[in-house]
Amino acid sequence: MSTNNTDLATLTGSRICHDLASPVGAALTGLDFLSGAPGGASPDEMALLRDSLTGARATLEMLRTAFGRAGRGAARDAASLGTTARGHLAARPRLQLEWSLDGRLAPVAAQHLALAILCAAHALPRGGTLAVAGSDAEGLRVTATAEGDLAAEAALWDGLTGHSALPAADVRQVEFHLLAAHIARGDARIEVIRGDQSLAIALLLPAQD
């Protein structure tokens, strides 16, 4: 099913608001509690508040990388993107991130990788491991390994690779439509390899001028 740019923009904005609502709400709740607490905040309470705000900042940066306009700006440090991704995923304690990517990433490569990470996380709602490896020049790879069977809707992965139409756009899955749009216009080539307990997304990007 086709999705126009206006729909995608609306869904993307809704997704950003949705993902930021929880950590920001937790931080505000903490501030409300601390404002009425006698003697001020304990170290544990301050740590929880700091974690909520740190998670919100990481999520905002992750979604900006994935959903924003990549352009042709300065290359992105791969290690810093790994830190951002880890912070974004910290709210899911049963999901571990293994990052074996270093060096620099062109802006478009960083965007595609961020989208691929968000897509791959859909396969692990009950936890597991996301492993990121490769390089800008040789190709990027995101592997999702589940604790048990994967929870991956076949239509999403077939649509991502262009083998069939994607399901109707949904705020929870807008990253699939955005990444598929990049693939369709030739920004990258993609391969998805699925098994019972693991799934790999391989991205090969054209050389940057």
Q: Are 88 and 67 in contact (CB under 8 A)?
A: no
Q: Tell me the C-alpha to C-alpha distance, in Å, between residue 46 and each of 26, 37, 53, 84, 165.
A: 12, 12, 11, 21, 47
Amino acid at 75: A
Tens of pLDDT, residues 105-160: 999 999 999 999 999 999 998 899 999 999 877 899 999 999 877 877 889 999 99
Q: Where are the domains of the chain?
A: 5-204
The CATH superfamily of 5-204 is: Histidine kinase-like ATPase, C-terminal domain (3.30.565.10)
| Helix (H) / strand (E) containing 190 | strand 189-194
Is 0.85 surpassed by the pTM of this model?
A: no
